[in-house]
Amino acid sequence: MDPITALAEFEQAALASIAAANNAAALEQARIEFLGKKQGRLKDLQSLLGKATPEERPVLGKRFNDVKTAVEAALEARQAIVAKPKVAATAIDLTLPGTLPELGRLHPLTQTVREFQQIMARFGFEVVDDRELEDERHNFDALNIPLEHPARDPLDNFYLAAACTASGKPVLMRSQTSTVQIRVMEQRQPPIRVISLGRVYRPDDIDATHHVMFHQMEGLMIGRDVTMASLKSVLRMFAAAYLGGDTEVRFRPSFFPFTEPSVEVDVRWKNGWLELGGAGMVDPNVLQSVGYDPEEYGGFAFGLGIARFCMLRHGIDDIRLFYQNDVRFLRQF
């Protein structure tokens, strides 16, 4: 075999063995086989150089050195790779889509509350908030609810056994957001145009349409010429904004101690009417209880159940679903 061919074969075999060596021991074997100082195959080739003619020698010598350098470089490069801690190359596929973190979302009632606030803001109503633990003045007295009124029955309210106001008066969890009407009027002078959305509590038997805690939106508008027509317009515009422009709204005569006249507000639903809440013109006694002159100022108030609207729009048939924290339900909103 001529030396040039022998060198080419050596190079090919050495590079293949080095590339195939998967660990340090196999690589060391390849090194000894091809580059070993004592019996390596390169050593054998070196003896061929001695037999070359003087003319062949420079070419052959250069080729020999090139091959040696190439094989040594390949060995070194492979050593660096083999020495690295072994990562399971197949364990990670960087082209796969990642695992998305599960994002939470707003509770459907919270979404409804926010949307109500936005709608009413368009009609110029400011959002106010107040306490859920109340005294009897704000939950009953100032709202013209007489002492003997059934709404005051301790069995129909959550009175706190362990708490009372600084002046020793009983404390209860508010049974209606109308308490906020009083709180606002005590602090401000007309004109007033506010809404307040929050929780109220009544010891009801829990079923598909009743819960011991539910949400109301209270509205209050007081001024010099606020009329029943203003009330009806605002509620009609509100129902249209939330439920759709073709929503039919009905007002039925009713009674509340704190409004006169009073109405019940219904919307047309399927083949019947669904009651959404109460409303009316603020009773002069209520205005007087906060120091307003009923001859000068008047206005309307309303209180609507929030869950009802949300159930109507989304076709939810059981109010208990809102409070069970079942993600299969919550995920749909």
| Contact residues for ligand PHE, defined by CB under 6 A | 176, 178, 256, 259, 277-280, 301-303
CA 166, 170, 176: angle at the middle one, nearest 5?
A: 115
Beta carbon of residue 308, minimum distance to ligand PHE (angstroms, whole number) = 12
* Helices and strands (H and E) in the chain: how many: 11, 10
CA 113, 117, 120: angle at the middle one, nearest 5?
A: 135
Q: Distance (Å, rounded) from C-alpha 190 to C-alpha 12? A: 98
Closest of 162, 113, 63 to residue 333, by C-alpha:
113
Place of tokens 């939950």: 139
Pick 9 or 159: Cβ nearer ligand PHE: 159
Two tokens, residue 150: 């059934």
Beta carbon of residue 330, minimum distance to ligand PHE (angstroms, whole number) = 27
Residue pair 218/277 in contact by the 8 Å Cβ criterion: no
Pick 265 or 312: Cβ nearer ligand PHE: 265
Place of tokens 């507000």: 265
Beta carbon of residue 231, minimum distance to ligand PHE (angstroms, whole number) = 9
Pick 67 or 301: Cβ nearer ligand PHE: 301
Q: Distance (Å, rounded) from C-alpha 258 to C-alpha 99? A: 56
Pick 112 or 181: Cβ nearer ligand PHE: 181
Closest of 46, 10, 17 to residue 31, by C-alpha:
17
Beta carbon of residue 302, minimum distance to ligand PHE (angstroms, whole number) = 5
Closest of 263, 264, 243, 258 to residue 310, by C-alpha:
243
Two tokens, residue 248: 């039919």
Verify cis geometry, omega within 30 degrees of 0, for the bond prior to 85.
no
Pick 45 or 235: Cβ nearer ligand PHE: 235
Beta carbon of residue 303, minimum distance to ligand PHE (angstroms, whole number) = 3
Pick 112 or 178: Cβ nearer ligand PHE: 178
In order of 82, 85, 254, the CA distances from 24 in angstroms are: 6, 12, 93
Residue pair 237/122 in contact by the 8 Å Cβ criterion: no
Pick 259 or 289: Cβ nearer ligand PHE: 259
In order of 176, 184, 280, the CA distances from 187 in angstroms are: 19, 5, 22
Beta carbon of residue 177, minimum distance to ligand PHE (angstroms, whole number) = 7
Residue closest to ligand PHE, measured at CB: 303
Residue pair 279/300 in contact by the 8 Å Cβ criterion: yes
Pick 28 or 260: Cβ nearer ligand PHE: 260
Beta carbon of residue 254, minimum distance to ligand PHE (angstroms, whole number) = 8
Pick 21 or 180: Cβ nearer ligand PHE: 180
Beta carbon of residue 112, minimum distance to ligand PHE (angstroms, whole number) = 17
Beta carbon of residue 270, minimum distance to ligand PHE (angstroms, whole number) = 24
